[in-house]
Chains A and B, each alone.
Chain A
Amino acid sequence: DQQVKQNSPSLSVQEGRISILNCDYTNSMFDYFLWYKKYPAEGPTFLISISSIKDKNEDGRFTVFLNKSAKHLSLHIVPSQPGDSAVYFCAASESHFGNEKLTFGTGTRLTIIP
């Protein structure tokens, strides 16, 4: 049972435009959400996170939005750059697990077209 879903396996966006990656979850106990970015032949690297007490968190070109009622989060990248081409994973955790256990989505491959 996939508790964290990324329904778009791939996404192509023109350089300079906005990239929007989506993630849905089913477990209402999740209260902390993260996005990771993965290049080929490298491990995932942390990008941005959001707690369930917020609905938006921004870090430079990256913004994560959380809609708790819809159990949906999204990552916005603006403007998109060629170096943003990677696989993006969203992940979620429950507070009673603290930071110990993350549940990951299936990933979205983002391609930025120059």
Chain B
Amino acid sequence: DVKVTQSSRYLVKRTGEKVFLECVQDMDHENMFWYRQDPGLGLRLIYFSYDVKMKEKGDIPEGYSVSREKKERFSLILESASTNQTSMYLCASSSSSSGRETQYFGPGTRLLVL
């Protein structure tokens, strides 16, 4: 079974704080993704990574950065948290090995920025 874990289920941070969200997958997947989910907007892609040290901007990268130093771990960084970054953050991973593989998601981190 694919397992994607996220470091925190709930986080409360203050405006201006630096926030780290960690994601780990145990299936040796090449691809990892960070999304945010907001009511009425669905899932929007923030950043993704094809390989270690590789990263690509998604649809809404502003205010975020990422780090992928190891294959199994993909971190999302909010350099200076703002209230409009209050959201549910979802990490996902997928394999590039064959065909059109699906993405497997973690349980999500609900972030509240005060």
By size class, the interface of chain B is 20 to 34
Q: State the interface size on chain A (CB cutoff 8 A).
A: 27
A101 near B106 (CB under 8 angstroms)? no
Chain A residues 84 to 114 lying within 8 A of chain B, measured CB to CB, are 89, 91, 93, 98-107
Chain B residues 67 to 112 lying within 8 A of chain A, measured CB to CB, are 90, 92, 94-96, 99-108
Contact sample, A vs B, 18 pairs, CB 8 Å cutoff = A46-B103, A46-B104, A49-B102, A89-B42, A91-B43, A93-B100, A98-B96, A99-B94, A99-B96, A99-B99, A99-B101, A100-B50, A101-B45, A101-B58, A105-B42, A106-B40, A106-B41, A106-B42
B residues with a Cβ closer than 8 A to A are 4, 9, 31, 35, 40-45, 48, 50, 58, 90, 92, 94-96, 99-108
Further pairs besides A6-B42, A106-B42: 19, Cβ < 8 Å:
A41-B107, A42-B107, A43-B105, A45-B105, A46-B103, A46-B104, A91-B43, A98-B100, A99-B96, A99-B100, A99-B101, A99-B103, A100-B50, A100-B96, A103-B45, A104-B42, A105-B42, A106-B40, A106-B41
A residues with a Cβ closer than 8 A to B are 4, 6, 9, 32, 34, 36, 41-46, 49, 51, 89, 91, 93, 98-107
